[in-house]
């Protein structure tokens, strides 16, 4: 990752980022809004969040969605819709596969089988931030990430976050 992007991410987060690999998605304003991280920190500790949402404007808008009860509605639909549950499980499997690929690319030991993926996948809808980050990084991969993304306002429309 180039130093300009790393600096933007640090400003977005308000702290130095950990285990950065690359920008996984750019906001329409041009700044990174999702980064891909290594599955282990420098000290070897597990870091299961592969795709990390960095844009504070997007995070705020997603927080508003979470507060609206959308996750509860999604969870209810997940329990009653086998096709949706299958797509969500596929998103989980793809997330884990990519995380293992990244570990191999970085020369790191992959995370243990059974380690969580993100956002509650595959059985719960727990964090829309993680699900949206996944969808932005890998378009078409996460059905709930896509739904949440489509429900968001244009968070970038009044200018960049940093």
Q: Look at residue 104 and tell me if it is in a domain.
A: yes
| Nearest CA among 54, 57, 58, 60 for reference residue 24 | 54
Q: Are 55 and 27 in contact (CB under 8 A)?
A: yes
The mean pLDDT value for 38-65 works out to 96
What would the mean pLDDT of 127-151 be, rounded to a whole number? 97
Tokens of 12: 């977005």
3-state secondary structure of 65: helix
Residue 86 reports pLDDT greater than 90: yes
Q: What pLDDT was estimated at residue 82?
A: 98
Q: What is the pTM of this model?
A: 0.95
The pLDDT value given to residue 114: 87
Q: Kindly tell me if the per-residue pLDDT of 137 is higher than 90.
A: yes
Check pLDDT > 90 for residue 111.
Answer: yes
| 100 domain residue, yes or no | yes
At 9-29, the pLDDT tens digits run 999 999 999 999 999 999 999
Output the pLDDT for position 11: 97
Phi, psi for residue 39 in degrees, rounded to 5:
-75, 0
Domain assignment present for residue 160? The answer is no
pLDDT of residue 1: 86
Q: Is 32 inside a domain boundary?
A: yes
Report the share of the chain in percent with pLDDT over 90: 97
93 within 8 A of 99, measured Cβ to Cβ: no
DSSP 98-162: HHHHHHHHHT-PPPPTT---STTTTT----HHHHHHHHHHSTTS-HHHHHHHHHS--TTTT----
Q: Which domain holds residue 61?
A: 3-151
Residue 141 lies inside a defined structural domain of this protein: yes
- Is 156 within the bounds of a domain? no
> Cα separation of 114 and 101, whole Å?
16
Q: Work out how many domains the chain is built from and give that number.
A: 1
């Amino acid at each position: 990752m180039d130093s300009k992007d790393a600096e933007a991410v640090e400003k977005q987060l308000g702290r130095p980022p950990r285990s950065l690999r690359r920008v996984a998605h750019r906001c329409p304003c041009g700044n990174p809004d999702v980064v891909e991280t290594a599955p282990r920190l420098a000290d070897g500790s597990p870091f299961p969040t592969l795709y990390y949402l960095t844009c504070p404007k997007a995070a705020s808008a997603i927080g508003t969605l979470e507060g609206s009860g959308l996750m509860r509605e999604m969870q209810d639909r997940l329990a009653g819709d086998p096709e949706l549950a299958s797509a969500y499980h596929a998103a989980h499997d793809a997330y884990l596969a990519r995380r293992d690929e990244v570990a191999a690319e970085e020369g790191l030991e992959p995370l243990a089988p059974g380690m969580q993926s993100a956002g509650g996948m595959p059985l719960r809808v727990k964090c829309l931030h993680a699900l949206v980050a996944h969808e932005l990084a890998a378009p078409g991969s996460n059905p709930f990430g896509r739904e949440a993304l489509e429900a968001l306002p244009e968070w970038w429309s009044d200018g960049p976050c940093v």
